[in-house]
Amino acid sequence: MSDSEIVKEFLVESYENLDRLDRELVGLEKNPHDRDALGSIFRTIHTIKGTCGFLGFNKLEAVAHAGENLLTRLRDQQLTLNPEITTALLSMVDAVRQILSQIEAAGREGERDDSLLIATLTRLQQPPQGPAKSEIAPLPESPSEAAAMPSSLGDILMQRAGVTRAEILLAVKKQKEGDTRQMGEILVEQGAARPADVLDALRIQQVSRAQASALDSTVRVDVGLLDKVMNLVGELVLARNQVLQFANRMKDTGFLAASQRLNLITTELQEGVMRTRMQPIGNIWGQFPRTVRDVALGCGKQVGIEMEGKETELDKTIIEAIKDPLTHLVRNSVDHGIELPEDRVKAGKDRTGRLILRAFHESGRVNIEISDDGAGLNGERIRQKAIERGLITAEQAARMPRRSHIIMPSSKARKRSPW
């Protein structure tokens, strides 16, 4: 594999990981003791740091290294996640994404200065000043953290239970001499490991094998190649149609049977290729928790996001086309639709607003709804702004509907602004 291919593979994998980091960091802020999420975030940044160091991207390595050090403190429970740390880590993700974009466009990191971000990440590694906090008992190791361990039972026991290589070799020697017991049983009898250590190691080994099996069942395909196959299938369908028309005028039963089989195979191939382009809408919804958090934080609001129907699939082209409009609608709901906490309390609502994203199939179509429990948009204010900016005339504004939203039976407001 050439250097350019290695860099391309690194960029593709890193982009996928960064999209997942946004979701995991926002989720971790709500549940700081989620060891699964914290372990996944740490491993992702560690992988990016190690790979960019190998490829010579020093600026990217410096940013990732500072973030990794902060995550190490969180993982070791020397720090507790708070909004300031979450914001800094999200800023690190943004910086990594920007550097990757520069590498993709120009093949190098560019002239950028991330010293302020690195200094912030370094500062946050220090424990807060104040009275000493009580010791927190370490949480049990999670399966996802365990998946990063070696799959060999002996290696796992050496790393986690302090079993020596000599003790492992002695157990292997006994097995070769005819001892039919498992390695763990032999080590327990020798006093080299406790039963609990062996059970823990076996659990980690099972998780590692399951992950390896899942990875072996998938393959990454270039979108350009997929589009080419799609076009070829389209040409095949046209040729199939011509053959069927010709076969209908023929009285050769053998040729007619062959054309029917061609028809069946081509139809199945077309459906299969179409499915490869289908993606769950959750792929783009995954960025919205981060968007909602950032906008709500900037507006001084508290907003929670709920998603229904994330598994609903759409063609990749449609997914890309609706990404920006959906993002705009989500930002508008948080920025303009949902009230400030104080105003919500006065109106008898919960301080935290609710933003609901829903996707579902109906009558052969995919419907996407974005609703919230806010007060809605101020139609008259929008009308006046549109007139002031010359977007519409006063006469046109007078003819427009007065309502800015429709109250649904569930008392949720669905944005239906005519502007």
pLDDT score, position 207: 61
| Domains contained in the chain, number | 4
Do 246 and 291 belong together in one domain?
A: no
Is 134 contained in some domain? no
Asked if pLDDT for residue 38 goes beyond 70, the answer is yes
Do 24 and 103 belong together in one domain?
A: yes
Do 298 and 411 belong together in one domain?
A: yes
Do 286 and 398 belong together in one domain?
A: yes
Do 324 and 386 belong together in one domain?
A: yes
Residue with the bigger pLDDT between 237 and 208: it is 237
pLDDT score, position 145: 39
Mean residue pLDDT across the chain: 80
Which CATH number belongs to the domain containing residue 405 in this structure? 3.30.565.10
Do 266 and 310 belong together in one domain?
A: no
Structural contact between residues 201 and 156, judged by C-beta atoms closer than 8 angstroms: yes
pLDDT, tens digit, for every residue of 240-278? 999 988 888 887 888 888 999 999 999 999 888 888 888
Query: What are the angstrom distances between the C-alpha of 340 and each of 29, 46, 47, 214, 343?
Result: 21, 39, 40, 45, 5
- Phi/psi at 359 (5° precision): -130, 135
**Which pLDDT band holds residue 353 (cuts at 50, 70, 90)?**
very high
Do 342 and 397 belong together in one domain?
A: yes
Do 40 and 165 belong together in one domain?
A: no
Distance in angstroms (rounded) separating the CA atoms of residues 332 and 330? 5
Q: What is the mean pLDDT of residues 175-194?
A: 79
Do 173 and 208 belong together in one domain?
A: yes
Structural contact between residues 337 and 374, judged by C-beta atoms closer than 8 angstroms: yes
Is 26 contained in some domain? yes
Lowest mean pLDDT: which of 65-74, 186-195, 311-320? 186-195
Last residue of a domain, one of 257, 276, 295: 276
Is 320 contained in some domain? yes
pLDDT, tens digit, for every residue of 122-165? 999 887 655 444 333 343 444 333 334 444 677 777 766 777 87
Is 132 contained in some domain? no
Do 265 and 319 belong together in one domain?
A: no
Q: What whole-number percentage of the chain has pLDDT above 90?
A: 20
Residue 315: give the domain boundaries: 282-415
Is 129 contained in some domain? no
Q: Which residue blocks in 306-388 are alpha helix, DSSP H?
A: 316-332, 341-346, 379-388
Distance in angstroms (rounded) separating the CA atoms of residues 323 and 367? 15
Last residue of a domain, one of 216, 237, 264: 216
Do 289 and 236 belong together in one domain?
A: no
Residue with the bigger pLDDT between 368 and 378: it is 368
pLDDT score, position 303: 92
Is 51 contained in some domain? yes
Query: What are the angstrom distances between the C-alpha of 348 and each of 198, 262, 296, 411?
Result: 56, 66, 20, 14
Strands (E), 281-391: 303-308, 313-315, 353-362, 365-372
Q: What is the mean pLDDT of residues 20-43?
A: 85
Is 34 contained in some domain? yes
State the angle between helix axes of 253-276 and 223-248 in degrees (0 to 180), rounded to the nearest 10: 160
Q: What is the mean pLDDT of residues 369-392?
A: 86
Asked if pLDDT for residue 215 goes beyond 70, the answer is no
Contacts of 204-210 with CB under 8 Å at 24 or more apart are 204/141, 204/143, 204/146, 204/147, 204/149, 204/156, 204/160, 205/151, 205/152, 205/153, 205/156, 207/143, 207/144, 207/146, 207/147, 208/146, 208/147, 208/149, 208/150, 208/151, 209/151
Last residue of a domain, one of 92, 123, 154: 123
Do 400 and 373 belong together in one domain?
A: yes
Asked if pLDDT for residue 409 goes beyond 80, the answer is no
pLDDT, tens digit, for every residue of 322-346? 989 999 999 989 988 899 999 999 9
pLDDT score, position 326: 92
Is 133 contained in some domain? no
Which CATH number belongs to the domain containing residue 261 in this structure? 1.10.287
**Which pLDDT band holds residue 106 (cuts at 50, 70, 90)?**
confident
Q: What is the pTM of this model?
A: 0.61
